Amino acid sequence: MTDALTETAVLAAADRLVAAFAATDTAAYFGSFRPDATFCFHTERARLDDRAAYEALWTSWLADGWQVVECTSTDRKVQLLGETAIFTHTVRTTVRPATDAPEESYTERETIVFADGPDGLLAVHEHLSTTPE
């Protein structure tokens, strides 16, 4: 982006990312991340050190019949830090974990760090954590 980073731009980037995830749109979803993005998910034993590692995991889920049924973002906050922004929200997700499996729903907290660069505003880090019961 050539203009100063704005809350509106960050929210639009987050909306695109969440919509792509909600649609299980692999190309659009991973197109929202830089190749060197890192991922910390409470459901995984280790950090995923780049987009390719997450894409491989995603592909294995799809092979099992995994699909996002619904994803809703609430309680959103943007912190602008120069050419970087931190986006936090609460995310309610319903998935079908495998073909013919019953749906499962989760409420989690998520932090996504966006960086503005030559390819536009892309996510460079995603951290997903549980919410207290």
Phi/psi of residue 2, nearest 5 degrees:
-100, -25
**Residue 68 forms beta bridges with which residues?**
95
Quote the Cα angle for 7-53-12, to 5°.
15
Average pLDDT taken over every residue of the chain: 96
Q: Is residue 4 scored above 90 in pLDDT? A: no
Quote the Cα angle for 69-16-12, to 5°.
135
pLDDT in tens, 47-57: 999 999 999 99
- Domain definitions of the chain by residue range: 7-130
CA pair distance 42, 79, nearest whole angstrom: 23
Percent of the chain with pLDDT over 70: 98
Instruction: With beta carbons less than 8 A apart as the criterion, state whether 77 and 88 touch.
Output: yes
* Mean pLDDT, residues 23-50: 98
Give the architecture-level CATH label for domain 7-130. Roll (3.10)
Sign of the CA dihedral running 127, 35, 93, 65 = negative
Q: Is residue 1 scored above 50 in pLDDT? A: no
